[in-house]
Structure 1
Amino acid sequence: MFNELIQQPIHSTLPIHSQSATFYAEQGTGDLLILVHGSLCDLRYWRWQISKLHAAAHVVTISLPGYWPNNPSSTAYEFDLQNQIAAIADVIQQKRQSGQKVYVLGHSRGAFVAAQYVLTYGNIDGLILADPAFPIDSPPPALPVLAQAASLMAEGQDESGLRLFINAVSGENTWQQMVGWFKTMVEDNAHTLIAQSRENLPAISTVQLEQLRELPLLLISGALSPTRYQQSVARLLTLLPHANHAIINNASHGMNLANPKAFNRAVLEFIHH
């Protein structure tokens, strides 16, 4: 859970680069591993992956368009699913080398963006989805808490809006127990909740999912993740029975930070199978 995050400051040693207005940090050599964050996060979310997995892969953690360190005033124009899919494509095109395998790992909303990238481009060697919440065959159900949080923030009540959203998504009292560096990241991306509340994500059809049947796929769940994520993974496992499934013990939605050793081990076992 977010209240289980590591009590250390944000890593600041890695330079942040940009490619077609997409910001990213990178470390390591080997096969390419692209890390895609979820709501209210950015490239800093993967601190315990880029600092550990770089020994076995060329790890690139990106900030999707609209998120920090992009200018908040441009979020209304940048925060768009197609822009975010294109951002992944741009970074892969720049970083991919001949003979190199490419893997994309997406978390939460980022898992949806990563899947849409594969459905659009389909030129990778493996896909990893951590706590995806996919709309399949029908538009995603409305999340009243998102609209309520966005409304509070539009009125200038940022902290109240963030507390409402975070606690609803990740568990009661998560906001109150959140460590400093993570709260800073969330606050830096608070403006994106308003844009997110206005987007209409398309459903992924069961026919589209057929495109993933030939692609190596890993689904990762937190053992304590909220029901909506567990139900989504269960549905995907039914539709894509070839997928591998890793459950991260002692962790909820933020499983890569709550139990990074187990999370990283699952990723390494998948990309090195």
Structure 2
Amino acid sequence: MRWALLLMTLVTACLTSCQSLAPRSWDLPPGVKVLPVNGYDMAYVERGQGAPLVLVHGTLGDFRTWDQVTSSLSDKYHTISVSLRHAYPEHWDGRGDDGSLSQHASDLAVFIRALGLGPVHLLGHSRGGTVVLFTASAHPELMRSVILADPAPLMNMLPKRPEVQAAMDQRTVLIQSMLEHFRKGDVDGGAATWINGISGPGAWDAASEGARTVWRANAWTAKTLYGDDRLPFACADAAKIKVPVLLVTGDKSPPIYGYVQESLRPCLERVTSVAIPNAGHGMFRANPQVFNERIGEFLAEH
């Protein structure tokens, strides 16, 4: 009987802590690590030493999104850039419904706990910023500070004004156009539609081949944009975040991201805002020097 109880205990422990029992169907690039999180192997890359800084990419992104940031900030910080569920190195075809914002926020919280590094600085961009927002609200004890770079919109948080609704309608059309390209097999056309729409005309052509490679690899993760903006989240939820928060935007970012920050700012107890000059939504690619300087200054204070 004692052996049976011991065996049951070991099996239970494996099911809870060794959650990814099925083998991965994709290979890991050199230097990439994984942590089993909610039944999925989350890939991540670590650099440097010091206080931990976890970086969360947005739509069409993965851990490689942050290379220009981590190469700078890892001089003083332990940077951990993570790929959310279904992002590269997985080659996702869009099947399944487990790539929601709620799922990603749950995954991120478990991932941070599994790192075992204590409270972290947490930086998220675009949809990744909204994942960070949900995670920080639900698990404030895991946070040392929060950085939200153009977080994606949530309908019930936005100001109720005609120009705001017009901006949301424009974003919806952009998403639909991108996904229609993908359904037709036109990955470059779809990715270019999105990148030019949020970062300005010509942004796709002006980007490095490395950036375009990342966007192509994560094309179908854009599917998760549908429905995310209607998840319930209120000012009271944002107010649960008591650590310092930095809101970042580009001075050329689309208006919708300004409306998002307008709605968040009054809800946050300790909030600072900064605009990156000569940059749109992809501000850390357009002006990496200033972006890294502003992030570094904020981290040094907290």
Is the shorter-chain TM-score for this pair beyond 0.5, marking a shared fold? Answer: yes
TM-score, L = length of structure 1? 0.86
The count of residues paired between Structure 1 and Structure 2 equals: 258
> Structure 1 residue 72: deviation in Å?
1.1
Which whole-Å CA distance do the structure 2 matches of 1:166 and 1:74 have between them? 19
Q: Aligned with 1:45: secondary structure?
A: helix
Contact in 2 for aligned 1:223/1:250 (Cα 8 Å) = yes
Whether contact under 8 Å (2:126, 2:149) holds in the other structure is: yes
The corresponding residue for 2:239 is 210
The aligned counterpart of 2:55 is 35
Alpha-carbon deviations, 1:128-157, whole Å to 9, x = none? 001123315358945122122212211222
In angstroms, what is the RMSD of aligned CA positions? 2.2
CA distance in 2, matches of 1:122, 1:201: 23
CA-to-partner distance for each residue in 1:88-135, whole Å, 9 max, x for gaps? 2233112233xx541100001100000101122222111100112331
| Structure of higher RCO (CA pairs closer than 8 Å, 6+ residues apart) | 1
Q: Is the 8 A contact 1:147 1:197 kept in 2?
A: no
2:174 to 145, 149, 158: 145
Which residue of structure 1 lines up, in the alignment, with residue 153 of structure 2? Answer: 134
Q: Is 1:15 aligned to 2:31, yes or no?
A: yes
Between 85-94 and 242-251, report the one with greater CA deviation: 85-94
Task: Please state whether the residue corresponding to 2:122 is helix, strand or coil.
Answer: strand
Corresponding residue for residue 121 of structure 1: 139
| Residue type of the alignment partner of 2:255 | T
Match 1:76 to one of 74, 93, 96: 96
Misfit runs of 4+, over 4 Å: 138-142, 198-201
2:22 maps to what in 1?
A: none
Distance across 2 between alignment mates of 1:237 and 1:94: 31
| 1:4 corresponding residue in structure 2 | none
Rounded to whole Å, the distance in 2 between the matches of 1:31 and 1:138 is 32
Aligned position for 1:166: 195
TM-aligned CA deviation for residue 192 of structure 1: 1.6
In 2, the alpha carbon distance for the partners of 1:14 and 1:233 equals: 38
Q: Secondary structure at the match of 2:148?
A: strand
Deviation at 1:74, TM superposition (A): 6.7
Give the 3-state SS of the residue equivalent to 2:151 in structure 1.
coil
Q: How does the TM-score come out when normalised to structure 2? A: 0.78
Say if 2:156 and 2:230, in contact at 8 Å, map to a contact too: no
**2:115 counterpart of 1:89:** no
- Counterparts in 2 of 1:207 and 1:90: CA distance versus 1, 3 Å: closer
Secondary structure of the 1:137 match is helix
Matched residue, 1:179? 208
Q: Call closer, same or farther: CA 1:193–1:59 in 2, change over 3 Å.
A: same
For residues 137 and 25 of structure 1, the distance between their equivalents in structure 2, rounded to whole angstroms, comes to: 35
The one-letter amino acid paired with 1:206 is C
Distance 1:216 1:136, change over 3 A: farther
Q: 1:240: which partner in 2?
A: 268
Distance of 1:94 and 1:23 partners within structure 2: 13
> Do 1:75 and 1:192's aligned partners in 2 also have CA atoms closer than 8 Å?
no
Q: Which residue identity is paired with 2:75? A: A
| Residue 245 to residue 199, structure 1, CA distance change in 2 (3 Å) | closer
Q: How far apart, CA to CA, are the structure 2 residues paired with 1:254 and 1:114?
A: 17
The offset of 1:241, in angstroms, is 6.2
Instruction: Find out whether 1:156 has 2:185 as its counterpart.
Output: yes
Aligned-partner residue type, residue 34 of structure 2:
S
Preserved CA contact (<8 Å) 1:28 1:58: yes
Partners in 2 of 1:111 and 1:137 — Cα distance? 17
In the alignment, the residues of structure 2 paired with residue 107 and residue 259 of structure 1 have an alpha-carbon distance, to the nearest angstrom, of 15
Max radius of gyration: which structure?
A: 2
